[in-house]
A and B are shown apart, each in its own frame.
Chain A
Amino acid sequence: MPYTTHADLGGQPGFGPVVHEAEEGLFHAAWESRVLALTLAMGATGCWNIDMSRAARETLPDYLDLSYYEIWLSGLEELLVAKGLVTAEELAAGRARHPPKPVSRILTADQVVARLAQGSPTERAPTVPARYRPGQRVVTRATPVEHHTRLPAYLRGKTGSIERILGPHVFADSHAQGLGEDPQWLYTVVFEARELWGSEAAPGHRVSFDAWQPYLEPA
C-alpha cells in the first residue's frame, strides 16, 4: 500500500494567518487532556514506539480536517486496533468484550513523575565514525520514500552545509517501520533560504533541520 503523509506542511501555500493564543490555554476541553494522558500511558506499555505513533497520525486521511487532539485520538485508536489490543467493535461499544493481550509494562500513578523526568533518550554510542564534518557541503535525498521519514519534502534534493554533529541517534525511518533502532549519525544541516525558495527568499534567512546520515550525500 502506498504510504501517504498528510503532515508534511513546510512551505505549502494556502493555510492563512497564524491564530495566536495566550499562554494560559493548555487544553480547550477536558477530553483533550484525557487523550494526551491516554496516549502517554499507552505509549508507556511499549506496544509501539514514538515514530510508529507519528506514522499512525500523519497517515490519517482526514489529518488536515482534524484538531490536534482529534489526530492523537484517531492515531491511538488506529494503533490499538492494528496491534490487536482492542477491536473496533469494543471501541464502538465502549466496553471490553475480549480478554486483554499481554503488555510488557503498565504505567502506574506512582511511576509517572519519574518516567517523565527520565524520558527516552535516542542518542546511542558510536560504532562507526561520522561520514561528514562541520562545514562540509551535502545534498539531501531527492526522492520521496514509501514510509515514515523525517526528511521534509521542502528539503528534498537541496544543498546545504553540515553545521553540527549531533551523535548517532535512533533512526526514525527504521524505527517507525518496526525495523529496530538502527542508529545513524545525526547532523544539523543549514540551508540558505534562496536554495529552498528561490528569488522570493529574503536575504539573511536560513533554515536548518536535523538530518540522519542516510538522508545525505556529499555535494
Chain B
Amino acid sequence: MEHDHDHADHSELSEIERRVRALETVLTQKGYIDPAALDVLIDTYQTKIGPRNGARVVARAWVDRSYRDRLLRDATSAIAELGYTGRQGEHMIAVENTPGRHHVVVCTLCSCYPWPVLGLPPVWYKSAPYRSRVVRDPRGVLLEFGVRLPADTEIRVWDSTAEVRYLVIPERPAGTDGLDEEALSILVTRDSMIGTGLARSPAEL
C-alpha cells in the first residue's frame, strides 16, 4: 500500500512543500539528480559560503596595502588568494568606499550577487522595493537602512546586469588601529559589502 503510505506521509505538508517534494521525487526517480548532492549543496551554502568570507577579504585589504591594491586591480585573483572562487563570483570587481564616495550594488533584473564572498542574497536584495528604488533614489533607500551620508558624498550605484559581480570595500571605522585582521573582520557586515550599510565600530559590538 505504497500509495496510502505516501498519502499519510504528505498530509501534514503545505501545498508548496508537496510540490517541491513531488518535483524532487520525480527527478530522483528519473535519475537526473543525486539526492546526496542536494544535501551537500545546501550544507555548503548554510555553513561554508557566506558573508564571513567577504569580511575576511575586507579585513585583509584594511591591514595589507599591497593586498588592497591587488584587490582593486584584479579582485577575482586577489579573492582567490583567500580560497574563495567559483559560482557567481567568476568575475569579481572590488570598489572602495572613501570619505567622498559611496558605492551600492544591485541587480535590477534579478538577483545577481557575489556568492563566493557573500553567500546567497538576502530576501530584500532580491525583492522589488530594493531593485526598483535603489537606482533612482539611493539616498532614500540608504536612509531606510539607517545610513545617512553627507550631502556632498558621491553615490555610485552598480547595476550588476552581466556576469561581473561587485564587492564593496567599506571604509575602515575609526578607532580600530590596534585591531588585528580577525577582530577587524567582525566589524564587516554583509550590508557594508553591498553598500547598504557601514562597517561597525568596535563600540557597536
| Residues 29-64 of chain A, each 1 if its beta carbon lies under 8 Å from chain B, else 0 | 111011111101110010000000010011000001
Give the CA-CA distance A170 to B40 in the complex, in Å: 29
Give the CA-CA distance A54 to B162 in the complex, in Å: 12
Is A120 at the interface (CB under 8 A from chain B)? Answer: yes
Whether A85 pairs with B41 at a CB distance below 8 angstroms is no
Q: How many of chain B's residues have a CB under 8 angstroms from any CB in A?
A: 79
Whether B159 pairs with A209 at a CB distance below 8 angstroms is yes
Whether A33 pairs with B46 at a CB distance below 8 angstroms is yes
Is B20 at the interface (CB under 8 A from chain A)? Answer: yes
| Residues 13-29 of chain B, each 1 if its beta carbon lies under 8 Å from chain A, else 0 | 00011111111111101
| Residues 74-87 of chain B, each 1 if its beta carbon lies under 8 Å from chain A, else 0 | 00000000000111
| Residues 182-219 of chain A, each 1 if its beta carbon lies under 8 Å from chain B, else 0 | 00001010100100110010101111111110000000
Give the CA-CA distance A45 to B178 in the complex, in Å: 50
Q: Which residue of A lies closest to B95 (CB)?
A: A208
Whether B37 pairs with A38 at a CB distance below 8 angstroms is no
Q: A116-B44, A152-B159, A170-B163 are in contact. Are A70 and B22 (CB under 8 A)?
A: no
The total of Cβ contacts below 8 Å across the A-B interface reads 271
Q: Which residue of B lies closest to A33 (CB)?
A: B42
For the complex, would chain A's binding face be called helix, strand, loop or mixed by DSSP majority?
Answer: mixed
Is A82 at the interface (CB under 8 A from chain B)? Answer: no
Whether B16 pairs with A73 at a CB distance below 8 angstroms is yes
Residues in chain A near residue B164, CB distance under 8 A = 166, 186, 188, 210
B97 shortest CB reach to chain A, Å:
14
Whether A119 pairs with B161 at a CB distance below 8 angstroms is no
Whether A90 pairs with B119 at a CB distance below 8 angstroms is no
Is A9 at the interface (CB under 8 A from chain B)? Answer: yes
Residues in chain A near residue B120, CB distance under 8 A = 26, 36
Q: A18-B130, A19-B124, A91-B23 are in contact. Are A10 and B86 (CB under 8 A)?
A: no
Residues in chain A near residue B63, CB distance under 8 A = none
Whether A96 pairs with B163 at a CB distance below 8 angstroms is no
Whether B31 pairs with A100 at a CB distance below 8 angstroms is yes
Q: A18-B124, A35-B20, A208-B156 are in contact. Are A186 and B132 (CB under 8 A)?
A: no
Q: Which residue of A lies closest to B84 (CB)?
A: A117
Q: Report A83-100 residues with CB < 8 Å from chain B CB.
A: 85-86, 90-96, 100
Whether A13 pairs with B132 at a CB distance below 8 angstroms is yes
Q: How many of chain A's residues have a CB under 8 angstroms from any CB in B?
A: 98
Whether B139 pairs with A202 at a CB distance below 8 angstroms is yes
B169 shortest CB reach to chain A, Å:
17
Give the CA-CA distance A16 to B156 in the complex, in Å: 22
Q: Which has the most chain A C-beta neighbours within 10 Å: B34, B37, B127? A: B37
Q: A19-B129, A54-B110, A202-B155 provided; 14 other pairs, C-beta below 8 A? A: A10-B159, A36-B41, A37-B42, A42-B33, A58-B110, A67-B123, A68-B123, A94-B26, A96-B29, A122-B90, A123-B90, A151-B161, A166-B162, A210-B161
Interface residues of B (CB under 8 A from A): 6, 16-27, 29-34, 36-42, 44-46, 49-51, 85-91, 108-111, 119-120, 122-124, 126-133, 135-136, 138-139, 141, 144-145, 152-164, 189-191
- Identify the 9 closest CB pairs spanning chains A and B, nearest first: A94-B22, A10-B108, A210-B162, A109-B36, A119-B86, A96-B29, A37-B38, A100-B30, A37-B41
